[in-house]
Amino acid sequence: MTAMSDDCIFCSIVAGELPSHTVYETEDTLAFLDANPLAPGHVLVIPKAHHERLDDLPEELAGTVLETLYQLVSPVETAVEADGTTVAFNNGPAAGQEVPHVHGHIIPRFDDDDGGP
Ligand code: 5GP
Ligand code: ZN
């Protein structure tokens, strides 16, 4: 399903109906700060179209989402002076996916953090 989903918080963010802190935007993707960050600078990257899981995405859009993640890793790391990043998708409730609109996490990591997610 690609139309906006009325009860999806990430679709509401794309539509500008819910506030978010946008860090980067392309024609088909949006990157914004996570509201409950696991580390400073924790960013979420989503396709603007509503799809639940990574494997629901048309292949070309999956490539576009991954390209946006790729573009952001280094700037995010630099912005918060991180030592590394964890880049991940929780795919399905069993994996801890709470928001059913596919999103990639960029989580800054620090040498002295606790091992993280
Ligand atoms: P998941 O567990 O589904 O992989 O991750 C969902 C992420 O979305 C969580 O890290 C959570 O903090 C974030 N999140 C949930 N609701 C909102 C929201 O309304 N705005 C923003 N910016 N992030 C949200
Ligand atoms: Zn959605």
Is 116 inside any structural domain?
no
Beta carbon of 66 within 6 Å of any ligand 1 atom: no
Judging by beta carbons within 10 Å of its beta carbon (0-12, 13-18, 19+), is residue 70 exposed, middle or buried? exposed
CATH number of the domain bearing residue 19: 3.30.428.10
pLDDT for 63 equals 98
Q: Would the CB of 8 count as within 6 Å of ligand 1?
A: no
Domain assignment of residue 95, yes or no: yes
pLDDT value at residue 6: 74
| Residue range of the domain that includes 64 | 9-109
Task: Tell me the torsion sign for CA atoms 76, 33, 38, 106.
Answer: negative
Overall number of domains in the chain: 1
Q: Which residues of the chain are modeled with pLDDT < 70? A: 1-3, 115-117
Task: Give the number of the ligand closest to the Cα of residue 6.
Answer: 2
Atom 21 (ligand 1): residue with closest C-alpha? 35
Residue 47 lies in a domain: yes
Residue at 117 is within a domain: no
Q: Is residue 3 part of a domain?
A: no
Global pTM reads 0.95
